[in-house]
């Protein structure tokens, strides 16, 4: 009898250490520590690492602007483009940069809707990355049109010819998709910044900082009546950004898929482009966050767990991209279309085979290393793989664009595209533009969403003992 009574009491086993989930913020840091530590990156004397990164970035940005000036003043002939290769590095770079932006929106919007609380440590920097990547992306379509001063004809504005843009063209859909994407990303980013700008305002020690942070904080007080509307608006913006980000790269893929070029005219393009965009974007987030967390001493907020989770996303999307490459080949054979099959054979074994196999090596093979935990939890190793991902995804767009165009239906047109120095330096230069903007962001704005990170700590939960909850007495 006594034995039975003892057995009826449920035994709650203690969780073994290896099954305990890693906390999002290490060492149970208090709220004040979080604001001091994160805001501190944008305060005080400019650290040496910042100058070491900023000066070369700025110089490379100036190279980019010089190349663009040379292009506009001379003409697109300074690039290596030659019919039938009418699109080459320009559109490759455009798709590359716009794809990078997609991880920022995935982290800020989709992971928010999926209640992935780990996103709070990386969403601010990833959203900034999105905005700067879209700026770099937007540059290329604008300068590749040749007569840049007529770029406003893409917009639905009245002009002297009384003619309107042609809305049946996917290229025009792209104008709307990319400009909407940029605007909405900026709004979302700014809205997330408002409470943190108030923190910066309240910490400011100089009048100019007080004035500027105060102006952009709009008088935020942390009122709960305000938070109530703020959280609803944040949720709605996340809900709007999710279909937006999926539509943007789908529409970018329509630039190709709606045409009739073999190698482009496939229905797999929208999902395949979106997966590739997220893959490359996470690669870039890792390339940026691993040095940043180390140089700005943010290891307790952007933890190994965060890096590991991002590696899993890279591995998953990299595998989807690998599947898409295989499926494209299968359909090229299965469709029985000789032109389509030739385009794919030419990709893998033609004159650009070297580019194709770099793409496969970097995108399909390299992320498979993340099946091993040691690979996911070793930040500088992850950094190297993330660089491979960036390289691979640039080559993917190069392969899609150039190999499909360089041998068109008329063999007398066939040729081999080679970039000129202007092509090369304009592209390298956009990294200078991107890094200059990112470093300015890291120097003047909180690189981690302070109020959001505070909100995911155990002491923020009023029902947790660390949040001050008293044990219940029945």
Partner 1 sequence: MSRRKRTRTIRSAAQSLTITENAMAETNIKYGLIAEFDTTADTLHAAAMVRDAGYRRWDVFTPFPVHGMDEAMGLPRSKVGWFTFFAGLTGFTLGMLMIWWMNAYDYPIVVGGKPLFSPIFSFPVAYECTILLGAFGSLFGMLFLNRLPKLYNPLFRSVRFARVTHDKFFIVVEATDPRFSDIDTRKLLERAGSKHIEEVRD
Contacts to partner 1 from residues 121-160, by CB under 8 A: 156
> Measured from the CB of residue 409, what is the shortest distance to partner 1 in angstroms?
19
Spatial distance between the Cα atoms of 144 and 89, rounded to a whole number of angstroms: 10
> Measured from the CB of residue 193, what is the shortest distance to partner 1 in angstroms?
12
Instruction: Rule CB under 8 A: say whether 172 interacts with partner 1.
Output: yes
Coil, strand or helix at 474: coil
Spatial distance between the Cα atoms of 448 and 450, rounded to a whole number of angstroms: 6
Q: How many CB atoms lie within 10 A of CB 242?
A: 18
> Measured from the CB of residue 258, what is the shortest distance to partner 1 in angstroms?
10
Stretch that binds partner 1, among 4-12, 181-189, 264-272, 424-432 (CB under 8 A): 181-189
Interface characters, 33-72, with partner 1 (x: CB under 8 A):
--x-------xx----------------------------
Report helix angle 123-144 to 269-295, nearest 10: 120
Q: Which is nearer to partner 1, 231 or 299 (CB)?
A: 231
Q: Which is nearer to partner 1, 95 or 290 (CB)?
A: 95
> Measured from the CB of residue 424, what is the shortest distance to partner 1 in angstroms?
33
Token readout for 8 is 């009826």
> Measured from the CB of residue 224, what is the shortest distance to partner 1 in angstroms?
4
- CB-count exposure of residue 402 (10 Å: 0-12, 13-18, 19+): buried
Footprint of partner 1 on 12-31 (CB under 8 A):
30-31
Spatial distance between the Cα atoms of 144 and 140, rounded to a whole number of angstroms: 6
Q: Which is nearer to partner 1, 142 or 212 (CB)?
A: 212
Spatial distance between the Cα atoms of 363 and 372, rounded to a whole number of angstroms: 17
Q: Which is nearer to partner 1, 308 or 452 (CB)?
A: 452
Q: How far is CA 307 from CA 30, 112, 282, 290, in A?
A: 23, 18, 10, 8
| Of the residues 100, 251, 257, 439, which one makes contact with partner 1 according to CB under 8 A | 251
> Measured from the CB of residue 184, what is the shortest distance to partner 1 in angstroms?
4
Q: Which is nearer to partner 1, 30 or 338 (CB)?
A: 30
The angle subtended at Cα 296 by Cα 294 and Cα 300, nearest 5°, is 65
Q: How many CB atoms lie within 10 A of CB 141?
A: 21
Stretch that binds partner 1, among 88-96, 344-352, 362-370, 446-454 (CB under 8 A): 446-454
Rg (CA), the chain: 25
Stretch that binds partner 1, among 77-85, 274-282, 414-422, 455-463 (CB under 8 A): 455-463
Torsion of Cα atoms, 437 then 441 then 442 then 445, to 10°: 180
* Secondary structure (H, E, C), 167-221: CCCHHHHHHHHHHHHHHHHHHHHHHHHHHHHHHHHHHCCCHHHHHHHHHHHCCCC
Q: Which is nearer to partner 1, 210 or 337 (CB)?
A: 210
> Measured from the CB of residue 138, what is the shortest distance to partner 1 in angstroms?
15
Footprint of partner 1 on 191-250 (CB under 8 A):
191, 195, 198-199, 201-205, 207, 210-215, 217-233, 236-237, 240-241, 243-244, 247
Q: Which is nearer to partner 1, 203 or 312 (CB)?
A: 203
Closest CA to 318 of 382, 377, 361: 361
Q: Which is nearer to partner 1, 140 or 182 (CB)?
A: 182
> Measured from the CB of residue 30, what is the shortest distance to partner 1 in angstroms?
7
Q: How many residues bind partner 1 (CB under 8 A)?
A: 80
> Measured from the CB of residue 167, what is the shortest distance to partner 1 in angstroms?
5
Q: Which is nearer to partner 1, 164 or 333 (CB)?
A: 164
Spatial distance between the Cα atoms of 355 and 394, rounded to a whole number of angstroms: 10
| Of the residues 177, 285, 301, 360, which one makes contact with partner 1 according to CB under 8 A | 177
Spatial distance between the Cα atoms of 314 and 371, rounded to a whole number of angstroms: 11
Q: How many CB atoms lie within 10 A of CB 155?
A: 12
């Amino acid at each position: 009898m006594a034995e039975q009574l003892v057995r009826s009491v449920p035994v709650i086993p203690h969780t073994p250490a290896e099954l305990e989930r890693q906390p999002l913020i290490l060492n149970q840091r208090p709220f004040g520590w979080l604001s001091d530590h994160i805001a501190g990156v944008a305060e005080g004397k400019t650290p040496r690492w910042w100058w070491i990164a900023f000066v070369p970035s700025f110089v490379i940005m100036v190279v980019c602007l010089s190349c663009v000036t040379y292009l506009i003043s001379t003409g697109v002939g300074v690039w290596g483009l030659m019919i039938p290769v009418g699109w080459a590095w320009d559109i490759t770079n455009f798709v590359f940069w716009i794809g990078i932006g997609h991880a920022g929106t995935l982290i800020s919007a989709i992971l928010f809707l999926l209640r992935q609380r780990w996103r709070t440590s990386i969403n601010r920097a990833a959203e900034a990355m999105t905005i700067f990547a879209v700026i770099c992306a937007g540059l290329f379509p604008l300068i590749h049109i040749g007569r840049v001063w007529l770029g406003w004809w893409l917009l639905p504005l009245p002009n002297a010819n009384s003619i309107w843009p042609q809305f049946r063209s996917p290229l025009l859909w792209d104008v709307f998709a990319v400009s909407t994407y940029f605007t909405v990303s900026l709004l979302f980013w700014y809205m997330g910044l408002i409470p943190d700008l108030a923190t910066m305002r309240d910490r400011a020690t100089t009048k100019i900082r007080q004035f500027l942070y105060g102006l952009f904080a709009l008088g935020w007080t942390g009122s709960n009546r305000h938070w109530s509307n703020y959280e609803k608006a944040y949720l709605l913006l996340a809900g709007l950004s999710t279909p937006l980000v999926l539509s943007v790269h789908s529409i970018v893929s329509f630039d190709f898929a709606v045409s009739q070029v073999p190698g482009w005219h496939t229905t797999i393009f929208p999902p395949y482009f979106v997966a590739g965009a997220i893959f490359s974007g996470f690669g870039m987030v890792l390339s940026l966050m691993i040095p940043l967390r180390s140089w700005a001493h943010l290891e307790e907020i952007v933890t190994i767990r965060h890096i590991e989770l991002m590696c899993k996303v890279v591995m998953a999307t990299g595998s989807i991209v690998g599947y898409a490459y295989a499926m494209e080949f299968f359909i090229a054979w299965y469709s029985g279309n000789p032109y389509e099959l030739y385009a794919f054979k030419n990709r893998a074994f033609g004159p650009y085979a070297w580019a194709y196999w770099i793409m496969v090596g970097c995108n399909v093979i390299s992320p498979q290393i993340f099946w091993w935990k040691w690979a996911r939890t070793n930040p500088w190793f992850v950094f190297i793989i993330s660089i491979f991902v960036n390289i691979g995804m640039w080559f993917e767009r190069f392969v899609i664009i150039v190999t499909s165009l360089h041998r068109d239906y008329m063999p007398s047109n066939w040729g081999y595209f080679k970039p000129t120095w202007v092509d090369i330096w304009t592209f390298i230069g956009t990294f200078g533009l991107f890094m200059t903007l990112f470093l300015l962001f890291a120097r003047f704005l909180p690189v981690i969403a302070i109020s959001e990170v505070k909100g995911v700590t155990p002491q923020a939960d009023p029902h947790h003992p660390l949040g001050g909850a008293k044990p219940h007495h029945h």
